[in-house]
Structure 1
Amino acid sequence: MWSVSSPGAATLDLWLWRHPRPRGVAGRCIGRTDVRVDPRRAKRLAHRIRAAQRRHGGPAEIWTSPLRRCADVAAWLGRWGWTVRTDAALLELDFGAWDGRPWSAVPWSAVAAWEADFAGHAPGGGESLQAMALRLDGWVRSFAAAGTDGGARRWVVAHAGAMRLLQRRADGLPATVERAADWPAPPRYARLMRVPISGQPGT
């Protein structure tokens, strides 16, 4: 897990905003399905991110998942002169054959198999939480490899799954949980989550 208290370690200050509420997702399993958000909500969140950067400092650079519900927010910032960094490591969990389908169409036996091995099972044949945690570890390591100043701030438009994994890592907890009941509730749409990280994944 990441160390958050190593003396002298560089601190990475992640400011993660969950994307706005997408259209047409009620009752559906949504991971990599590329759903859209209301353009007004995307612009409103972009304004909030820009205001935070002006108030607190840090680079005018936004990191985003390539999925439109995040990327549409970043695109507004790009129009205002920000550098946009799109990285597939920030994608939501891949639910494979379940993705985009109504939850009511997913056999209960398949859901039960995932719940029985919540961290290691790949729902719908897609991606496990363990695999998702490893790609996010790699994303954080990339900043350490490039070098960061103390307190280096990164602005990110993210998905709920990535936010929960990153928060658990920063809290010194294993990124994944064995029981579905222990998985934290998703942050609200457009909510800010600050995640300070010292050291690197695996330390």
Structure 2
Amino acid sequence: MAQASLWLLRHAQPLIAAGVCYGQLDVPADPSATLQAGMRFAAAMPGGAMVRHSPLQRCEQLALSLQAPEAFLSMDARLQEMDFGRWEGQSWNDIGRAAVDAWSQDLYAHAPGGGESLAAMLARVRSALVESWQHDSRLGTRDVVWVTHAGVIRCVQWLLRYGHAQPSAPDWQLPAPGFGQWQQLPWKAHAAALQALA
């Protein structure tokens, strides 16, 4: 029998120009790409999984395409991408090198664009992760799916590897699945790390 896991599913390609900062900007994903991603993941997703999704429409679209029973589908604001404040909707070129450098020099505590710091984002993702471990998964005995964003997936990876440690810019080299792709993390393999986070 396969181990129960946390499945981290990234939304499909968003309908926004390349090079634009879109963190919590609520842009839709490409409908065709969303449908294809949903079909691919639904074929791999175990039955009876609890599905949590970011409230941003690019994630909600994909979560709804999975056709999970409504009782197992839940929106969770903690699964949103980072809030980039006044940077949202601007091109990275217009934001400018100086502003990005200021953020990278204090990656953990600086709030880019006056939005949300990585410290705040890690705290909310940790809260969601502990809840999913303790309650949604019933301490690792049930599959849980998060339909979410690259930034959230990187936060989960950091928390499971490094716990409460504070990352700096050189540390933040964590991979994330491509659009419409996913990562499977068996609960049992990460039980000690999850208990330390609780």
- Pairwise same-fold verdict (TM > 0.5): yes
Whether the 8 Å CA contact 2:50–2:144 is kept in 1: the answer is yes
Closer, same or farther: CA 121–183 of 1 in aligned 2, 3 Å: farther
Closer, same or farther: CA 65–150 of 1 in aligned 2, 3 Å: closer
Match of 1:41 among 25, 33, 38: 33
The AA in structure 2 aligned to 1:195 is L
| Structure 2, unpaired ranges of 5+ | none
Spell out, residue by residue over 1:125-158, the C-alpha distance to the aligned partner (whole angstroms, 9 max, x if none): 0001111010011112223553715432101211
Spell out, residue by residue over 1:146-186, the C-alpha distance to the aligned partner (whole angstroms, 9 max, x if none): 37154321012110000011012223455652125643244
Closer, same or farther: CA 182–91 of 1 in aligned 2, 3 Å: closer
The AA in structure 2 aligned to 1:51 is A
The AA in structure 2 aligned to 1:24 is I
| Structure 1, unpaired ranges of 5+ | 1-10
Counterparts of residues 33-182 of structure 1 (less than 5 Å)? 33-53=25-45, 57-78=46-67, 81-82=69-70, 83-146=72-135, 148-172=138-162, 176-180=166-170, 182=172
Closer, same or farther: CA 136–12 of 1 in aligned 2, 3 Å: farther
Whether the 8 Å CA contact 2:126–2:159 is kept in 1: the answer is no
SS of the equivalent of 1:27 reads: coil
Give the helix-richer structure, 1 or 2: 2
Whether the 8 Å CA contact 1:18–1:192 is kept in 2: the answer is yes
Counterparts of residues 175-190 of structure 1 (less than 5 Å)? 176-180=166-170, 182-190=172-180
State the Cα distance separating 1:201 from its structure 2 match. Answer: 5.1
| TM-score in terms of structure 2 length | 0.84
Closer, same or farther: CA 69–96 of 1 in aligned 2, 3 Å: same
Aligned-pair RMSD on alpha carbons? Answer: 2.3
SS of the equivalent of 2:109 reads: coil
Closer, same or farther: CA 175–45 of 1 in aligned 2, 3 Å: farther
State the Cα distance separating 1:60 from its structure 2 match. Answer: 4.3
Using the aligned pairs only, state the percent identity. 34
Of structures 1 and 2, the one scoring higher in RCO (CA 8 A, sep 6+) is 1
Number of aligned positions between the proteins: 189
| TM-score in terms of structure 1 length | 0.82
Instruction: Please give the alpha-carbon distance, in whole angstroms, between the structure 1 residues aligned to 2:90 and 2:81.
Output: 16
